[in-house]
Amino acid sequence: MRNNDVVPLLQDLRYEVIPTRTIEEKILSSIPREITVTITASPTKGLEPTFELAERLTAHRYRVVPHVSARLVRDEIHLKEIVHRLVEIGVDDVFVPAGDAAAPAGKYDGALAMLTDLTALGRPFARIGITGYPESHPAIDDDIVVQAMWDKRVHATYIVSNLCFAPRVLTNWLHRVRRRGVTLPVLLGLAGPVERTKLLTMATKIGVGDSARFLTKHSSWLVRLTAPGGYSPERLLARTADANEVAGLHVFTFNQVAETEQWRQRLLGQG
C-alpha cells in the first residue's frame, strides 16, 4: 500500500483490548473517543468481564464492539439475555468468534449456529463480524475454515482477518476470499507496535490458564513480534498489495494502547 492508501485506514480503525483490571484507565488516558474499542472474551473468565468493560466504556462515550464467543454462550435463552444487555447500553456491533474454550458451555460448538440464532432473533445488531484466517488455523483444516466463512457470510456484515505477518500470504488470501464469492468488507488484523517486556507482563495478567493458552497458541508469531527489528506494522502495511480489498484496520494492541495511539499519530503526521 502507498502512504495515501494507509492514511484513511489510520483515521478510522479499531483497537482490540483485553479486559484486565487496569485497561479502562489506560483507554481513558490514551484513546480518543472517535476510536472504536473491541473487547476480547476470556475462555476461562467468561463473558462477564467483557460486558462489564463494555458498559463502563459506553458510559464514557466510547463505541465498543464486545466479542461474544459462541462457545461461552449456553443456549438461546442466554443469547437473548446477552442481546438485551448489549442493546440496552447502545451496542450495535459485535464480533462473533467460536472462541478458545476447551469445551462449549452449551449448545454452540462454533460460531455458525449462534449466528443463525441471532438472525432468527431479527438481526438485533447492525454489524456482526466474523473471523478470517489468512494462515492455517491451528485446530481446523483449511477446507473447513473456507467453507465456514462461506456459510457464515449471510449472517455477518464484515470479516476480521487473524494475525498474519507474511504480506504475500495475506494478499493471496484476500484474493482467494473474493474468488470464493465472499464479498463482505475485510478489516485487516494488524499487530500494533509491541514491546517484548510489556507483552509478557500483559500475558501474566490475563490469568494463569489464559496466559498459558495465549503463549502456547501464539508462540510462532510471538517470536516475530518480539524479535529485534523483526516486525513493523507500517512495513507490513506497505508490503500488502491491493488496498482496495481492505476496508479498515483492526489493531491488536495487546493492551499497549498508549504506544499504539502514539504510533498511529506518528504515521498520520507523516501522511
pLDDT at position 191 is 87
Using alpha carbons only, what angle is made at residue 23 by residues 257 and 41, rounded to the nearest 5 degrees? 100
Instruction: Give domain 3-270's CATH number out of 3.20.20.220, 1.10.150.120, 3.40.640.10, 3.40.50.150.
Output: 3.20.20.220
Residue 147 has pLDDT above 60, yes or no: yes
If pLDDT is split at 50, 70 and 90, which confidence band does 139 have?
A: low
Listed in sequence order, the residues at least 6 apart from 241 whose beta carbon sits closer than 8 Å to its beta carbon are 1, 167, 171
* In the chain, where the domains are located: 3-270
Q: At what angle do helices 257-270 and 23-30 cross, to 10 degrees?
A: 20
The three-state secondary structure class of 206 is coil
pLDDT at position 135 is 75
pLDDT at position 177 is 85
Residue 136 has pLDDT above 80, yes or no: no
pLDDT at position 179 is 85
> What is d(CA 40, CA 51) in angstroms, rounded to the nearest whole number?
10
pLDDT tens, residue by residue, 72-128: 999 999 999 999 999 999 999 999 999 988 899 999 999 999 999 999 999 999 999
CA atoms within 13 A on the CB side of 35: 27
For residues 102 and 211, the model is more confident at: 102
Of 24-33, 179-188, 219-228, minimum mean pLDDT range? 219-228
Give the pTM. Answer: 0.88
pLDDT at position 214 is 55
Averaged confidence pLDDT in the chain: 85
